[in-house]
Amino acid sequence: MEGVVTCERCAERSEFVVPVEEIMNAARPAPDARVHLHEQGRTFTFRLPRMSDIEAASGLTNFDDIRQVIMKRCALDSDHPPAALADRLGARFEALDPAANIVLTTTCSGCGAPIIAAVDIATFVARDLDRIVERLLRDIDAIASAYGWSEAAIADLPPRRRRRYVAMIAEARHQAQPLLTRRRS
């Protein structure tokens, strides 16, 4: 995977390679991993965040509000864990799941300054899924327009066969293009 980061010094956009293999080989936390933190004479227990916890906070713009929502959702024994736990909890979550917060250092291709790039794996995955869905929709549109088949029938085709149909349609349209241009003249 490749990422892009903008240099704060010169505003140049630089590409960098995300070390996917290293991330995939990083130690994974146990599914039932718990974090226990002591505050105000009490012990608070938290589970690791899930995508649903992150999604629940996605509409918020204030960083402290986001942390508080996620912290409340992950708290197992309290509806109101103290906000003072947030930094320690974040550090413990990162220690349990090092692949959850990927930070790389690269060099600006414009000015040579060092750049620290945070890699949001969820964004990379979501972007790739968006591309796959967009391609499928374009394939469905092309095949349905050419053959009148249903969306379900086209979606059920194996990807290789579906791409072959799209290539055949594109080739037929390309061959017909000079004829259409001559007729209009």
What confidence tens digit (pLDDT) does each residue in 9-46 have? 999 998 888 777 777 777 788 888 999 999 989 999 99
Name the pTM for this structure. Answer: 0.50
146 and 178: one domain?
yes
The range of the structural domain enclosing residue 159 comes to 122-184
Q: Is the pLDDT of residue 142 over 90?
A: yes
* End residue of a domain, out of 78, 101, 119: 119
* Domains in the chain, number: 2
Q: 23 and 47 share a domain?
A: yes
Tell me the torsion sign for CA atoms 175, 179, 184, 185: positive
Residue 185 banded pLDDT, cuts 50, 70, 90 = low
In 109-158, alpha helices (H): 121-147, 151-155
Please check whether residues 179 and 115 belong to one and the same domain: no
Q: Are residues 78 and 92 in the same domain?
A: yes
**pLDDT score, position 124:** 65
Q: Are 49 and 69 in contact (CB under 8 A)?
A: no
pLDDT at residue 150 tops 60: yes
Q: Is 57 found in the same domain as 31?
A: yes
Residues in the chain: 185
Closest CA to 124 of 141, 104, 97, 95: 104
In percent, the amount of the chain with pLDDT more than 70 equals 91
Do 139 and 115 fall into the same domain?
Answer: no
Q: Are residues 77 and 111 in the same domain?
A: yes
pLDDT in tens, 58-116: 888 888 888 889 999 999 988 889 989 999 998 898 888 877 777 888 899 999 999 98
Residues 18 and 45 in one domain: yes
Residue 81's CB: how many other CB atoms inside 10 A?
22
Indicate whether 9 and 88 sit together in one domain: yes
| 70, 85, 119 - which closes a domain | 119
Domain end point (choices 119, 146, 174)? 119
Q: Do both 30 and 75 map to the same domain?
A: yes
52 and 78 both lie in a single domain: yes
